[in-house]
Structure 1
Amino acid sequence: MEDNNERVIRHSGISRLFHWIMAASILVLLFTGLSPVLGIQFEWIEPHWISGVALTIAVLIHIVRSLSLPKLKAMKISPSDFKEFIENGGKVRGGKYSLEQKLMHFAIMVLSLVSLITGWLMLLKIDTPFWERDPFIFSADTWGVLYVLHGFSTLVFVSTVMMHVYFSLRPEKAMYLRSMIKGWMTKEEYEKNHDPDRWNV
């Protein structure tokens, strides 16, 4: 059994909670949004927009919690990251997050913002407990652009989520999946994969 003194905390409980809330919301959004395309017929609109609201709240809280210099610095992508990655063949003892993790985070951030902004605008077209629908608030051309952006971000999201799941299940990445479930990694894993000067725990 691993000694607690040999564990390094990577993710706090609140960070893990928000990660899994966002993950669940995204999966529900993808399932309900793509079901009609796949021929699965059910009343999908209500669970779709409710999941969108849940994701929006989680993302806003996540943004507020991330507005600190250390957290922003940990996720910053710089040209030196690419240079170091290429020069070392991808084997880099980086900070808390690797270049691949930073790029994945950036991709999901962009896709989430596009999906949420277009989704909230599209919500104006349906009745909700908060307002009555107004399908004429935008022109037909504008609605077309919104649908294209929303649909395109959804399709790219599917590939991104598949990549995220694939890499998280690889044996050499098991420590990161464990840390997102239990919060910790071993001291040996930390020393092998991370530079203490870049991520001082």
Structure 2
Amino acid sequence: MDDALVLIERYGLPLEGRSGEGWLLLKVPTGFELQWATALASQLGGRSTATTDSATAPMAVVPDVAESKSAPVAGAPAPDDEPSAADVRRLAMEMYERLEDAGGLPITLTATGRSATIHGKVFDARKESCRRQPGAKPGEWECEAELMVGLCSGDCDPSAEEPLPKGERIPIHWDPAQRRFTLDY
């Protein structure tokens, strides 16, 4: 399990703790649980299994639910209006910056089993639409945006790549403490 702890630290993933059976529980960005589980399992060379189901494997990934969602925070109430085009643009760029700060997005090609790391840079983002999900709290939105993104794999600089269009769904919520919209993870 030492290799797993080194890998977790390398990717900067918060260790949630251990299950009663001693399995490692990790927090990952909401919506990326399966990708992280697959990447971690492939990086460990099959010596361990990563999954989103903590009941079936020695290492499980769980969504990183922001503390601000679980505890009420004093601050500005959520606005009734959806996030502005400027908010969506800022958050799309921040989302890809976070991925880069974490070392890129590890992937595994299912046909070959080969692993790689994808790096991306958002050059521009244009808001298409925003909608509330069923059961969403006030200030929670899912916005669609058309991004111009430079992508590359391996040891590369995504800012040197030719930007191409890419559609993206961006989970956004109102943070009363910051008095602005933020990413929903």
TM-score grouping bracket, smaller chain normalisation: under 0.3
Task: Name the one with the larger helix percent.
Answer: 1
Report the TM-score, using the length of structure 2 for normalisation.
Answer: 0.23
Q: Which has the larger radius of gyration?
A: 1
Report the TM-score, using the length of structure 1 for normalisation.
Answer: 0.22
Task: Name the one with the larger strand percent.
Answer: 2
